[in-house]
Structure 1
Amino acid sequence: MTIGLAKLTTLTTCFHVAEVVRENDYVNRRGLTTTTHDSFTLVNSDFYTVACTAKDGKTWSNTVAGIRRDEDVRASTGWDKVPADGLRVNYLMIGFDSLSRNTFIRTLPKSYAFLSDVLGAQVLEGYNIVGDGTPQQLIPILTGKTELELPETRRRMGKQAQYVNSYPFVWDDFKKNGYVTMFAEDQPHIGTFTYRLRGFDAPPTHHYMRPFFVSVYPEYKDHPKLCLRNTPRHKVFFRYIEDFMAEYRSEPKFAFAFHSELSHDDFNLVSVADNDLLALLTSLRDQGHLNDTILVLMSDHGHRFTTIRSTQQGKQEERLPFMALVLPQSVKDSYPSAVGNVRVNVHRLTTPLTSTLPCRTSSTFSGARLGQLTERGYPL
C-alpha cells in the first residue's frame, strides 16, 4: 500500500515518516525512517508515524494505519491453495465488546436495520455465553475449546505460562489453507489475550493491529476525546478493515476485528458509531466484498458493570450477546440444507462453541449433516 501525501504539499515543506514495528505484544520499535515530499510505501509494518513541517514553521504529527503490500504473503496465499472441498469464500468477523442482542438493536438501529432488512442477516435469538468475560467467549469461538482445555497461558503463572500461540486458533487453519489472515483489537490495556494471558510470541496473523494501538494508547490524552487528531478512533479501526478487504480483493481472506472502546465501559456510547458502522457495511456491499464473504457481526456478552446489571433485564441481557450471520448468495445456492439449518437454529440455544464450527469448516466443508448430540458443539 502506497500512502500519498501530495495533496498536502502546498502547505508543508517535508514529511518525516517512521514505521512502527512490533518487538512483542507490549513493545514497539522505530523501523524504516525516511523523508518525503509526496508519498511512501509501507515495507515492514502497517503502521507509521508522520511528522509534517508547514511553511510557516508549525508542525503536525500523528500515527497512521494502513495495509502494507506483502509479497511474501501473496506468494503463500491464493485461491489455488484453498482445498477443493472448501466453501471458497472469505470470512469476516466484526465484534463489539459488551453488547447484548437487545442493546445492539437499541443503540445501533440503523446498522441493525441494514443487516436485517438489506443484507438478510440471520440473527441468533438464543445465542448464550459459556463463561464470564471476553476470553471465555472468544477462545471457544476461535479454538473450539475452553481455556481450561488449552495450554496454561496465564501471566501470573510465570515461567509455566506459554504464549497464546500454543492455542489451535482457527486463523491458523485458514493460513495453512491459503488464506490471508488479520486480527485487530483496539484496547491494548485490556486485550483479550494480553490482559490476563501472556499474549502472542510471534504475530498471530499476517496483519495484526495491536502494535498500532500500543503505540497510540499512551498519547490519547493529547488528542480530542475518542479521536486521533480529528478522526474518531473507531473510524480508524473500521478503515483498517476496509483497507484489508481492498488490498487483498483477489485473495481468500479471514479477518477478525474486535472493538471495545465505545461499548466496554458505557451502556450507550456505542450509538455514536451507528452511522459509521452502517457506512462500513454499505461500503462492503457496494464494493462487492460481500458477494463472496461470510460476514459475522457479533459481541462477546452483554454489559457486566453498568447499573442495568442490578435489574432482572440486565442480568438476562449480560448472558445474551449479539450474533448475526450474513451468507453470500453462492453459499445459499450451493448449500441450501446448510442455510436451512442456520435458519432453524436462529430460535434455538446456541453458544460460542457452536458458532466456531461454521468458521472452522469454511476452508474445508463436506456439506450439511445431522448434528451428534454427543458432541459439545456442532455446526449451525
Structure 2
Amino acid sequence: MRRIPTIRSGLLLVSGFSILFFLFWSQIIGFELQVADRGIFDVCPSFEYRYDDPAILMELGHTPRHKECHEIELLTILENGKLRINEKFPDYEKYICGARCAWFLHNYRNRYGDWCTINEHHNCIFPCDVIEVKCMLEGRKEYVFAHTQIYPYSRNRSDVFGSLYKKTLTPAIEKENYFPDVHILLLDSMGLNPVLRQMPETVEFLENQLDAVIFKQYTRTGENSRYNMLAGFFGEIPTAIDRRLYGGGILEPSLDKDLCSDPLDDRNYVQFDYEDAGYKTMYAQDNYLVTFGYLECVGIQNQLATHYMRPHQILGMLEDDMWSKRPVRNHTFVNDYLLKRYLRNASNCQELHTQVLDYMGKFLDSYPGKSKMSITWSSLAHNGEQSIKRADHTIRKFLEKHQDTLDNSFFILMGDHGQRFDTIQKSAQGMYESNNPAMFFSLPRKLRNTTLHEVAKRNSRELLSHHDLYATLIDIVRHQPSANFNDTEFREIQNSHGNSWIRSLDPNLSRGCRNLPISSQYCTCNYGDSIVSRTSPMWRRIYDVLALDMNRNLEAAGLADLCDKIAVMRLSEVHKMGSTGKSSYYRAMFETTSGGVFVVQYEFTAKEELIPYPAEWKRVNAYGTAADCLHSRHLAYKPLCFCKDQAKGNK
C-alpha cells in the first residue's frame, strides 16, 4: 500500500529543496559576481570539443592504410665514423664509390670537402655530421646517398657570428647545479585533437610512461609556422596583436628590423641561450624550406645550432618537394631518379620524418654526461592530419628506445599551429582546432610528482601560448638551475611576453584574450556567438564589401599589378561574435571565384562603418603555387593572391 506523505514530511521535502536551491543559486551568483568582477574576457571558457566527434570523423573519412616499408641493403654503410662497401649489395664489387663531407654554408647551399674513394686502401676521415656518397657503375652514376652521424664539435659562437653575435643573459653551467636535457619534437600543423585522433600509441606512451602534462588551452599566435615560432623560439611579436574585440589594446611588433631582408642572428633565439650556457645543441627539420629563412628571406645567417642537419635536406631535396615553382637559390635537381631509389624511397623505409628522428636519436645518444638541447621539426602532416597516422607507431618506438634519456630530460611534443587546409577547416570545430596546437610537456623523472610538476599541471588548464613556451624554456636554463628547480614563485622573464608555466602565473594578468598577447582571430576561448540570418541587412552589407576590402588590402601593399582582382563567388556564413564596447563584431566565411575560401572579422562601429578587423583574411583551403609571383617578404599576402600570370593561363 502506497504511503501518503504527511504534512511534516512535506515540509521537510520543501525545506530540502529550498536548501538545495539556495546552494545552487549561491553558486550561480558567485560565478556571476566573479565574471562581473574579472570580466568575461578575463577568463577563458572552454569549447569542450571532442576529438572523436562523429561528424568530424565522418568529414575526415577513412585514413588510407599506409603500405608497410621494408628495409633493403644499402651499398654503403657508416659505422663508427667510417664508411665501407656493403658486400651484401648486388654486384657490390663493380661499383666505384666516393664520399665527402657536407657542411652548412647558408640556408640553401652546402660547403663540401674533398672526395675520398671508399675502399680498403683509403682511410677516409669524415669530420662532419653529413656525408654525401656517390657511386659509379661502368662509368655511370648509379647510386647516391647521404649518411648522418654526430661528429663531436665545439665552437665559440662569438667567433663564428662576428658582428652579428649578441651575448645572451644566461649564465654558464655550474657543475654543482642541475642542468637537465631539453628536447622538442615539433609536428608541423598538428593541433591537440588531431594528435589525439591520429596518434593514440604516442599519446598513450607520453601519458603513461613519461607522465606528460597535456595543455588543453594552448593557442597559436600567428598565421604560419614562421610567425608562430618567432614567438615560441625567439620570444618576439612579429606582427601586431589586435585585441580590441575583447576590450584590449594593440601590441605593436617587437622586431625593429625587416623580417625578410635582415638576419636574425642577433635576436634572442632560444638555442643561443642554451649553447652559451654550455649545452650542446641540435636542430633538424625535414622540410626543404627553412622556417626562419623562407625562400628569399635571410633568416638566421649562421649555423643556428652546434649540430645542424640542414646539409642532409639540401642533398636529399626533390623537385616534387617544392611547394613553390620559384627557383630555390638556383638549386638544380640532377639526382631525382637515384634519390627516389635510395635516399628518398619510402618503400625502403627512407622517409624524411624517419631520417630526422634517426638524427635526433644519434644526438640523444651523444655527449654522455653533457647537457643537450634539441629541436626536431617534421612537416609530415603539413597537408593533412591523416598523414601523421603512419608515423604514430614509429614515433612511439622511438620514444621507447630513448626512454632512459627522456626520463632525464624535459621533453616536449608540440605543434606550431593546427591544420590550416584540411577538410574540416570550414566547420566551427575545425577553425578552433587550427588555433589549438598540440602541447605535451614531460618533466625529468626526478622532478615528477613535485611542487614544480603540480604547478605545471595547474597551469595546463589556463590559456597559454607560444610566448609562454619561450618564457618556460628560458626559465629552465637561466633561472631554475640555481634554485635546484624548487622555485615556483612568479618571476618576470626578461625579453619575454609570456610566463613560465613551471611557476605561478602573473597574479596581476588575467588569463583571457583581453590581456594576453593573442590576436582575437586566434583566441580559443568560448565567448559565444550567434548565426546571422541570410535575410539580415548585415549579411548583404558584409557581402558587398568583401572583395572591395581585399583588393584595397593588396593595393595598399603594392601588389595590385601582380595579383588578379578578387571577386566573391559566395558568402557561406556570418556569425555575430561576443564582444565588448560600442562596436559590434562579425565573422564571415566566403569563397572567391579563384577558389580561395577565407574567414575574416568585421567591426561595425557606432558610426555604422564596416571595417575589416583586423585586416587579415585567414585562408582555410590550400593555395599551392597560386601566389608564386610574390617575393617571400610578402608572405602574409600569399594566401590572398592569385597571380595574374596564372590567371591568364587558366583563361
Letter aligned with residue 236 of structure 1: Q
SS in 2 for 1:235: helix
Q: Deviations over 1:270-328 (max 9, x none)?
A: 1111111111111110xx21232110110011111122111111100001010011111
Counterpart in 1 of 2:147?
Answer: 64
Equivalent position amino acid for 2:272 in 1: D
Conservation of the 8 A alpha-carbon contact between 1:122 and 1:326: yes
Does 1:18 pair with 2:100? Answer: yes
Alignment partner of 1:368 out of 488, 495, 498: 488
In the alignment, what sits opposite 2:262? Answer: 162
1:121 alignment partner in structure 2: 212
Partner of 2:318: 218
Which residue of structure 2 lines up, in the alignment, with residue 150 of structure 1? 255
The equivalences for 1:85-100 within 5 A come to 87-100=178-191
Q: Distance in 2 between matches of 1:237 and 1:266?
A: 20
Separation in 2 of the partners of 1:326 and 1:226? 36
Instruction: Check if 1:136 corresponds to 2:244.
Output: no
Distance in 1 between the 2:276 and 2:352 partners?
32
Is the 8 Å Cα contact of residues 226 and 232 (structure 1) preserved in structure 2?
A: no
In 1, the alpha carbon distance for the partners of 2:342 and 2:209 equals 30
**Corresponding residue for residue 205 of structure 1:** 305
Q: Find 1:107's aligned residue among 177, 195, 198.
A: 198
Q: In structure 2, what residue type is equivalent to 1:378? A: N
Q: Which moved more, 1:307-316 or 1:16-25?
A: 16-25
Q: Deviations over 1:225-258 (max 9, x none)?
A: 9962431221111000001111223211011111
Residue 134 of structure 2 corresponds to residue 51 of structure 1: yes
- Where in structure 2 are the equivalents of 1:289-300 lying within 5 Å? 289-300=405-416
CA shift for structure 1 position 361: 1.6
Equivalent position of 2:20 in the other structure: none
- Which residue, out of 500, 506, 509, partners 1:379? 500
Structure-2 change in CA distance of 1:69 and 1:219 (3 Å) = farther
Quick one: structure 1 residues 225 and 112, their matched pair in 2 at CA, closer, same or farther if it must change by over 3 Å?
Answer: farther
Task: Give the partner amino acid of 2:470.
Answer: T
Which AA in structure 2 matches 1:379?
Answer: S
Secondary structure at the residue paired with 1:94?
Answer: strand
Q: Secondary structure at the match of 1:369?
A: coil
CA distance in 1, matches of 2:173, 2:104: 29
User: Counterpart amino acid of 1:152?
Assistant: K
- Structure 1 residues 146 and 72, CA, compared in 2 at 3 Å: closer, same or farther? closer
Q: C-alpha distance in 1, partners of 2:216/2:232?
A: 17
Q: Distance in 1 between matches of 2:303 and 2:141?
A: 37
Structure-to-structure mapping, 1:33-52, within 5 angstroms? 33-37=115-119, 40-43=124-127, 45-52=128-135
- Count of aligned residue pairs for this structure pair: 363
Alignment of 1:345 with 2:423, yes or no, is: no
**Distance change (3 Å), C-alpha of 1:207 and 1:241:** same
TM-score (norm 1): 0.86
Between the aligned partners of 2:401 and 2:174, the Cα distance in structure 1 is 29
Query: Structure 1 CA distance, aligned partners of 2:441 and 2:296?
Result: 30
Please state whether the residue corresponding to 2:375 is helix, strand or coil.
strand
Corresponding residue number in structure 1 for 2:111: 29
- Whether the 8 Å contact between 2:467 and 2:497 is mirrored in structure 1 is yes
CA distance 1:190–1:376, shift in 2 (3 Å) = closer
* Higher CA-based Rg: 2
141-150 or 288-297, which deviates more: 141-150
Does structure 1 residue 237 correspond to structure 2 residue 340? no
Equivalent position amino acid for 1:339 in 2: H
Give me the whole-angstrom Cα distance separating, in 2, the residues matched to 1:131 and 1:81.
Answer: 33
Partner letter of residue 242 of structure 1? Answer: G
Q: CA deviation at 1:190?
A: 5.6
CA 40–213 in structure 1, closer or farther in 2 if over 3 Å, else same: same
Deviation at 1:118, TM superposition (A): 1.8
Alpha-carbon distance in 2 for matches of 1:183, 1:371:
29
Q: Is the 8 A contact 1:2 1:40 kept in 2?
A: no
Change (3 A) 1:85 1:318: farther
Tell me the amino acid that sits aligned with residue 399 of structure 2.
L
Structure 1 residue 219, shift from structure 2 partner: 6.2
Of 395, 408, 411 in structure 2, the residue corresponding to residue 277 of structure 1 is 395
CA distance in 1, matches of 2:313, 2:139: 31
Matches within 5 A, 1:248-263: 248-260=367-379, 262-263=380-381
- In structure 1, what residue type is equivalent to 2:467? L
Root-mean-square deviation (CA), in Å?
Answer: 2.9
Between 1:222-231 and 1:134-143, the stretch displaced more is 222-231
Partner SS for 1:137: helix
SS in 1 for 2:421: coil
Higher-helix-fraction structure: 1
Deviation at 1:2, TM superposition (A): 3.2
Look up the match of 1:359: 473
The 1:48–1:151 alpha-carbon spacing in structure 2 relative to 1, beyond 3 Å, is: farther
Unaligned residue ranges in structure 1 (runs of 5+): 74-79, 156-160
- Judging changes above 3 Å, is the alpha-carbon distance between structure 1 residues 210 and 56 closer, same or farther for their aligned structure 2 residues? closer
- Alignment counterpart, residue 264 of structure 1, candidates 359, 371, 382: 382
Separation (CA, whole Å) in 1 of partners of 2:290 and 2:341: 19
Distance 1:184 1:58, change over 3 A: closer
The 3-state SS of whatever aligns with 2:452 is helix
| Counterparts of 1:8 and 1:226, CA distance in 2 | 14
Contact 1:144 1:356 in 2 (8 A): yes
User: Which amino acid in the other structure matches residue 119 of structure 1?
Assistant: L
Q: 8 Å contact 1:180–1:206 — kept in the other structure?
A: yes
Per the alignment, residue 10 of structure 2 pairs with none
SS across alignment from 1:111:
helix
2: CA distance between counterparts of 1:112 and 1:316?
21
Question: Quick check: 1:83–1:177 contact (8 Å CA) kept in 2?
Answer: no
Give TM-score, length-normalised by structure 2: 0.52
Which residue among 172, 181, 185 is the counterpart of 2:281?
181
